[in-house]
Amino acid sequence: MAEEKKLGLFALIALVIGSMIGGGAFNLASDMASGAGAGAILIGWIITGVGMIALAFSFQNLTTKRPDLDGGIFTYAREGFGHFMGFNSGWGYWFAALLGNVAYGTLLFSAVGYFIPAFGDGQNVASIIGASVILWCVHFLILRGVQSAAMINLITTISKLVPIFAFIIAIIFVFHLDLFTNDFWGKGLSLGSIGTQVKSTMLVTVWVFTGIEGAVLFSSRAKKSSDVGKATVIGLISVLVIYVMITMLSLGVMNQQNLAGLPNPSMAAIMEHIVGKWGAVLINLGLIISVLGAWLAWTLFAGELPLIAAREGVFPKWFGKENKNGAPTNALTLTNAIIQLFLLTFLISDAAYQFAFSLASSAILIPYLFSGLYQLKYSWLHKEPNRGKNLIIGIIASIYGVWLVYAAGLDYLLLTMILYAPGILVFRAVRKGKEGPVFNKAELLIAAAILVLAVIAVIRLAAGSISI
């Protein structure tokens, strides 16, 4: 790839920020308040901030120490823990990326529904048709080349920040400290213990931070490898500050119960409460731009990862086909075909947005966990400068990954196994004929556990004990 066509630091930062600040930011206040009071939300942000910063530093360190692992997410798991875990990390990340676009679809058309009532709350036939049109328009845009798509993402990232900053400035002027501190720990809200409340925030925070690894995934297309780590850390800290301000300041304008009951996108309702109808118009327009940009970024990720995985021998070779513009044609086509099927959840789920983003967040937990574990393993095995600091980073990132799996809860763990189960057959097909057994003993046990949990999930879905 010609040097001039590669991605610079600002384009990489935009990919990170653009993928993290999608539609989730515009519904963050109500999503966080739905299960927690102000105190628990603050604790949730502290845990998330420490964990995500450790994960970002892990990515930064590993891209410096192992630039040869330019597939990022799945290559770390494969290098540290074998072929099967490497495959599962890639498979889980792929599904997280495409499910993220399903969530964006319903949130996008809930915002469009503010202007065109036919789209309603983003969960009807009109919304499916609209989302399908956007889906395939983005598809053909990316086929023109990853670099041109990345530049459009840079423009949409800048555009989406304007209404968010307008919201933060407006809310500062009407913030009431007494409202914020009233029932700070949520004792009178029937939300459960502080621990239960904190757990309820975790999938939300993972969802809005998903994309932190965006620059890592495109490290092979970066002008300078050192820019990858810089983009990851700068993007994360910038977005963390924005998210904390959105959620905590909102609790000084409306109480927890009112915030939890707001329609999607809740930021528009809050802004209308503060400044009137024009505020809701501004936020809904911002959301539309934001989601379109994030949709583009996530389609880039969802197409790029199978391409890289195929080149690494982790996914079938079929995924590795590129067109003359360097776009992953086969991977992109299958990705968007699966998204098209999942768009039907708009009609069968009572809360399609929450279902899609929760499942996407659950699917990406395994890739995140094994990235942290590989950082820990690498620093443990190599006597390098700053080894002690890197060990601490690895320990924190690993503990955070384990905590997220626990906090996600049993229902979403089981649903995620339904996504992982078909991957066993794909992995077997890829590894068949290669040197050594397809599975070692430990991998056979893991595969069996995935299948058992997937069967339990299907049974519970059929019985109605797990709802979507």
User: Which domain-ending residue is among 381, 408, 435?
Assistant: 408
Half-sphere exposure of 51 (CA within 13 A, CB side): 23
Q: Taking CA 360 as the corner, what is the angle to CA 408 and CA 12, rounded to the nearest 5 degrees?
A: 120
- 322/448 same-domain check: no
Greatest CA span in the chain, whole angstroms? Answer: 67
Which has the closest alpha carbon to 256: 206, 205, 182, 201? 182
**Per-residue pLDDT, 4:** 45
Among the residue ranges 177-191, 253-267, 400-414, 416-430, the one predicted with the least confidence is 177-191
In this prediction, residue 153 has a pLDDT band, given cuts at 50, 70 and 90, of low
Mean pLDDT of the chain: 87
In this prediction, residue 2 has a pLDDT band, given cuts at 50, 70 and 90, of very low
Helix/strand/coil percent split, the chain, to 5: 80, 0, 20
Domain extent, residue 379, equals: 3-408
Q: What is the mean pLDDT of residues 323-339?
A: 89
Q: What is the mean pLDDT of residues 409-432?
A: 91
C-alpha 294/C-alpha 299 separation (Å) is 8
Phi then psi for residue 328, to 5 deg, are -80, 85
- 194/285 same-domain check: yes
| pLDDT tens sequence across 189-222 | 778 889 999 999 998 998 888 777 766 666 666 7
**Per-residue pLDDT, 147:** 59
For residue 13, the domain's CATH number is: 1.20.1740.10
**Per-residue pLDDT, 148:** 59
Residue 388 in tokens: 């002690």
User: Which domain-ending residue is among 408, 430, 448?
Assistant: 408
- 222/284 same-domain check: yes
- 326/424 same-domain check: no
Among the residue ranges 17-21, 35-39, 76-80, 285-289, the one predicted with the least confidence is 17-21
Q: What is the mean pLDDT of residues 345-371?
A: 85
Question: Residue 301 pLDDT more than 80?
Answer: no
Whether residue 306 is preceded by a cis peptide bond, meaning omega within 30 degrees of 0, is no
- 306/436 same-domain check: no
C-alpha 316/C-alpha 310 separation (Å) is 6
Q: What is the pTM of this model?
A: 0.86
- 456/378 same-domain check: no
**Per-residue pLDDT, 191:** 81
- 336/421 same-domain check: no
Q: What is the mean pLDDT of residues 331-349?
A: 89
Question: Residue 26 pLDDT more than 60?
Answer: yes
| pLDDT tens sequence across 34-62 | 889 899 999 999 999 999 989 988 988 88
Q: Please check whether residue 44 is in contact with residue 202, taking contact to mean a CB–CB distance below 8 angstroms.
A: yes
- 161/45 same-domain check: yes
C-alpha 27/C-alpha 31 separation (Å) is 6
Question: Residue 1 pLDDT more than 60?
Answer: no
- 382/449 same-domain check: no
Question: Residue 3 pLDDT more than 50?
Answer: no
Give the residue with greater pLDDT, 23 vs 68: 68
**Per-residue pLDDT, 218:** 64
Percent of the chain with pLDDT over 70: 94
- 431/342 same-domain check: no
- 333/421 same-domain check: no
| pLDDT tens sequence across 313-322 | 889 999 988 8
| pLDDT tens sequence across 242-263 | 999 999 999 999 999 899 989 8
**Per-residue pLDDT, 16:** 75
C-alpha 7/C-alpha 150 separation (Å) is 8
**Per-residue pLDDT, 145:** 67
| pLDDT tens sequence across 93-143 | 899 988 988 888 888 898 899 999 999 888 889 999 999 999 998 888 888
Give the residue with greater pLDDT, 333 vs 4: 333
C-alpha 267/C-alpha 285 separation (Å) is 12
**Per-residue pLDDT, 358:** 86
Structural domain total, the chain: 2
- 311/441 same-domain check: no
Percent of the chain with pLDDT over 90: 45
**Per-residue pLDDT, 302:** 82
User: Which domain-ending residue is among 390, 408, 426?
Assistant: 408
Among the residue ranges 137-151, 236-250, 271-285, 357-371, the one predicted with the least confidence is 137-151
C-alpha 255/C-alpha 247 separation (Å) is 12
